[in-house]
Amino acid sequence: MDRELSNKLSPILSRRSIRSYQDKEISNELIDALLHAGMAAPSACAKDPWRFIVIRDKAMLGTVCEKLPNGTMLARAALGVVVCGDLNAAHSNQLSYMLQDCSACIENILITAPLLGLGAVWLGIHPRQERIDHLRKVLSLPHAIIPVSAIAIGYPDEHKAPRSRYDEGYVHNEKW
């Protein structure tokens, strides 16, 4: 890929999983910007089934990550955003549409974080039932609200170079 194209794709290629954070709070303005970006995602029939739990309290962040074996960095993050889906709001009340919509929303947040000087990492919750049950209990989620992921966010205490994981072997033209 030439330099011009690489520069244009920089916001996407710069998205890296950041797991180490500075001890610094994130302003309400930046949190609002992240959520605006998330909610700008495409959604099947514009149903927008995403719902958010914004967590700053360190004790709660620690409790949330207790059942996320690869999510211990959440306890050290300035912010956690649990992205949930409302199954009743999803297109045709379908789990698959809800998950697709929430995933697009999550990716928007992840791409926006470095543009705002932040680092973030996606922590999977759905479809692991023990994780879903834990978050339902800890966050008092209604039955139709399904936790899809948690995002740990903070000012990065590590730097990772932009990269692509492009693999030509994954691309098929016209048919398999």
Q: State the DSSP H helix or E strand holding residue 152, giving kind and residue range, or none if neither.
A: strand 145-154
- Please report the pLDDT score of residue 80 as a whole number: 98
In 41-94, which ranges are continuous DSSP H helix? 58-64
Strand partners, 122: 151
Strand partners, 124: 149
CB 136, CB 147: distance < 8 Å:
yes
Tell me the domains of the chain and their CATH numbers.
16-158 (3.40.109.10)
| Model confidence at 168: pLDDT above 90 | yes
Q: Convert the pLDDT of each residue in 9-23 to its tens digit.
A: 999 999 999 999 999
Q: How far, in Å, CA of 152 to CA of 173, rounded?
A: 37
% of the chain beyond a pLDDT of 70: 100
Q: How far, in Å, CA of 172 to CA of 145, rounded?
A: 37
- Please report the pLDDT score of residue 1 as a whole number: 82
Q: Convert the pLDDT of each residue in 99-150 to its tens digit.
A: 999 999 999 999 999 999 999 999 999 999 999 999 999 999 999 999 999 9
Q: Convert the pLDDT of each residue in 29-78 to its tens digit.
A: 999 999 999 999 999 999 999 999 999 999 999 999 999 999 999 999 99
Q: At what angle do helices 95-115 and 28-38 cross, to 10 degrees?
A: 140
Query: pTM for the whole thing?
Result: 0.96
Arithmetic mean of pLDDT, 155-159: 97
- Please report the pLDDT score of residue 6 as a whole number: 87
CB 153, CB 26: distance < 8 Å:
yes
